[in-house]
Structure 1
Amino acid sequence: MRYRLDVVAPTVLDAVHSAGGWIYDRVMAGWDVTVLVGSGDNVRPLEILGAATADLESVLEEWADRPHPQTVAVSADLFSRDERVRRGVVGALDQGATEVTLWGQALPAELDSSVDSVVHRLSAAARAFKAQALGACGVAEQGVAPVETFCCGMMASVAADLVPAS
């Protein structure tokens, strides 16, 4: 059985910029990673990272029937804007069987007690591939940061790549 990570993002650029290194490192660790984004986005940057893609709207319509992944990563902005995403995240946290990871500046107040700050230290390869993926998004990065910061619920992680932020 392979572990699954579903990444829910409003745009390809947001997923690559906020979680691209983590996506790449999870793919290289043998995880099945699927990024759920709008159907109009160019998915080439996500292919550079090794991730599969799916249309966000189609998946949200069938969310209840979709097999639960071990981890779901979600943009905090999308969590706040889309009631279907919010229900899915809160439900996953309540069930406790799925690790929930969020990124973004505006963490929803209702999750403050359910999540802790964590970081992922990018491998050298993840930094290189993230830089290429950002370039494919049309963003000229001077350098990719060595860590990506998230908030995570259910700290009994199935992987040791997210560690508490100090």
Structure 2
Amino acid sequence: MAQQDTVEPTRRDFLYIATGAMGAVGAGALAWPFIDQMNPDASALSLASIEVDVSAVEEGQSIKVMWRGKPVFIRNRTAKEIEEANAVPLADLPDTNARNANLAADAEATDVNRAVEGNEALIVMVGVCTHLGCIPLGQAGDFGGWFCPCHGSHYDTAGRIRKGPAPENLLVPPFEFISEGLIQIG
């Protein structure tokens, strides 16, 4: 008869495996409260998205809402403002990236890529200057868009940086229309 290469597991082998498994379960149970405490609390999650009624925003009017502790500018632009924004060549822009969370990361900073699809008059942007985090003033500056008086950054009516120390266009947050005249930001 040939000698077998396999050895039957003993009771000691079973006890080693069972002890190791129980130790792993215990370590996981001990670590879980520390891992779970890193999740955001309910108050932070409630700020993750907001709904904004934009049906009352008339042409030429802007509103400001707060989202995640930051101001969000929503403007219903005039036909003249849209025309001026469309007339700007991309080569004249310091930042040619759209900075629109709703589009691909490499989308160009055309007026259409910065505005709301299907309602190009409406523009939604996080109202924080990309230079040092100041809050720009609306309908101000050399281009009729936003102006940050702290350091002199000028944004056009599409929220694109045109002049000053700010390195990037104002950010367009993730948003979508959830019904006629109602958008959800976040």
The TM-score with structure 1 as length reference comes to: 0.24
Pair member with larger Rg: 2
Larger helix fraction of residues: 1
Bigger relative contact order, structure 1 or 2, given CA contacts below 8 A and separation 6+? 1
The TM-score with structure 2 as length reference comes to: 0.22
